[in-house]
Structure 1
Amino acid sequence: MTDTPVIRFDGVGLTYPGPPPVTALRDCRMTVERGEFVAVVGPSGSGKSTFLNLAGLLDRPTTGTYELDGIDVRSLSETERTALRGRRLGFVFQAFHLLPYRTALENVALAQLYSRVSAADRRKAAAEALRRVGLGHRMHALPTTLSGGERQRVAIARALVNRPSLLLCDEPTGSLDTSTAGTVMDLLAELNSAGLTIVVITHDLHVAGRADRILAIRDGRLSADRPSGQAASAPQEPHAHAG
């Protein structure tokens, strides 16, 4: 398992039925190896969200093959896909999606509600995840009393609690100021250094520059694959040719 890519797309595409049909992603071929930190960049409408939905098992490709941890997901039922998503994937979104009337600990523990884990073990795992993101002292706080950065850390803890193979982050700093965004990216880099595979979807090249590798999507096509060091000073989305 350790040598198996976490993500392998082989000719993956998605066309939404019409009329007229709309092709959102075309012939995407890429891999994300275990332990990588990859950023996916592109302008609005480029296909980034479609990439996220496919990688996150929220949509099914209409062409090609997608393997998650070596598992070909094409033939899986919706129940099997849901179970695989719960075991192998963690999601972090721009809007946090925390329940305002639940404490940080309860929000994180809810991610294990449908697993075969006792309530006591859920709380223990949630507490461990919150400590991992530096919020051991805020476990019993409500989201309304937390800063934006703290709320995003709770969301990251919730994504980590099931020990996923892959963390998928959709504009994780989009609701944060520059300083707080840097702190959140520091946390993601720390988690990656500990071995977690991370894919960040972003339009922000400063965020992308924290990754090891950048994939650019434009007009539904994967159009670049470059070391992130080339992105930090780029004035716009990269236009390198696909490899």
Structure 2
Amino acid sequence: MIEFRGVALTYPGPPPVEALKPCELLVRRGEFVTIVGPSGSGKSTFLNVAGLLDSPTAGSYLLDGIDTGRLPDRARTALRGRRIGFVFQSFHLLPHRSALENVSLAMLYTSVPRARRLVRAREALEQVGLARRAGAVPGRLSGGERQRVAIARALVGRPSLLLCDEPTGNLDSENAASVLTLLDELHTAGMTVMVITHDAEVAARGLRTVTVRDGRLGERTPA
């Protein structure tokens, strides 16, 4: 699914910043991996590279066996849209659009006809247990429900990889537990899930935990 071969990323200076040092990583299809590390350790850089938002300055990144470094920018963007769904700490929902509209808008710039986009958006909301709230605007949803809408939006394109950056960071403990249960269910159904977190309880949900410190990747087995 994901393979880093000596991947590194240095931001140009002056002075240049080696944000991610040469690293190796293999994530197989269907795994649930958590990423932990202190602030400034390189977690966001790792996410940006894994999510095809930044290109490594050294090494090779293979996604589903495709060498992403050999792709032109347009092809990389298309690959990201087809294969990767993103979930962030902030929900980034449009406040005056319904849950259904927020999810369907994720496919606005695809070739999927509008009627079909709405069908797939309803299916995605059903997948996250929010079909009955399809007509509600974000202001009438709880924090956990808003994050579920954001997850539905990430799933509507039917990606093979779900990348989550602190997905419970803005939630109380009850809503956080609900979202984590949903991620467990998605993983059980076969989704490859990677979660960046600073929360030890969230990190423990992963079958594997990758550590990032000073731009270096390591690994530990969750307790």
Q: TM-score, normalised by structure 1?
A: 0.91
Give the alignment partner of residue 12 of structure 1, picking from 7, 18, 33. Answer: 7
What's the counterpart of residue 139 of structure 2?
A: 144
| Cα offsets for 1:182-207 (capped at 9, x unmatched) | 11000000000000000001111110
Shift of 1:226: 2.5
Number of residue equivalences: 223
Report deviation, 1:168.
0.2
Matches within 5 A, 1:114-153: 114-153=109-148
Report SS of the residue matched to 1:60.
coil
Q: Does 1:176 align with 2:171?
A: yes
How many angstroms apart in 2 are the aligned matches of 1:226 and 1:131? Answer: 35
Question: Which structure 2 residues correspond to residues 50-89 of structure 1 after superposition, within 5 A?
Answer: 50-89=45-84
**Matched residue of 1:23: which SS?**
strand
Q: Deviations over 1:89-131 (max 9, x none)?
A: 0000000110111100000001111111110100000000001
Deviations 1:40-61 (A, max 9, x none): 0000000000000000000000
Matched AA of 1:132: Q
- Report the counterpart of residue 49 of structure 1 in structure 2: 44
| The one of 157, 167, 191 aligned to 1:162 | 157
Identity rate of aligned residues, in percent?
A: 65
The aligned runs of 1:154-233 (5 Å cut-off) are 154-223=149-218, 225-228=219-222, 230=223
Gaps of 5+ in 1: 1-5, 231-243
SS of the equivalent of 2:104 reads helix
Instruction: Give 3-state SS (helix, strand or coil) of 1:153's partner.
Output: helix
- 1:37 matches 2:32: yes
Query: Secondary structure of 1:129's match?
Result: helix
Return the offset for 1:28: 1.4
Q: 1:178 deviation in Å?
A: 1.2
Match of 1:241 in 2: none
* Moved segments of 4+, more than 2 Å: none
SS in 2 for 1:140: coil
1:28 counterpart residue number? 23
**Structure 2: any 5+ residue segments left out of the alignment?**
none
2:93 matched to 1:98? Answer: yes
The structure, 1 or 2, with the larger RCO (C-alpha pairs under 8 Å, 6+ apart) is 2
Q: Distance in 2 between matches of 1:76 and 1:205?
A: 37
The alpha carbon displacement at 1:75 in A equals 1.7
Shift of residue 171, structure 1, vs aligned partner: 0.2
Residue 240 (structure 1) aligns with: none
Cα distance in 1 between the residues matched to 2:23 and 2:181: 30
Which letter does structure 2 place at the counterpart of 1:227?
T
1:151-184 deviation digits (Å, cap 9, x = unpaired): 0000000000011010000000000011111110
Q: Secondary structure at the match of 1:44?
A: coil
CA distance in 2, matches of 1:80, 1:19: 31
Aligned position for 1:236: none
Q: Could you tell me how far 1:76 is from its partner in structure 2?
A: 1.1
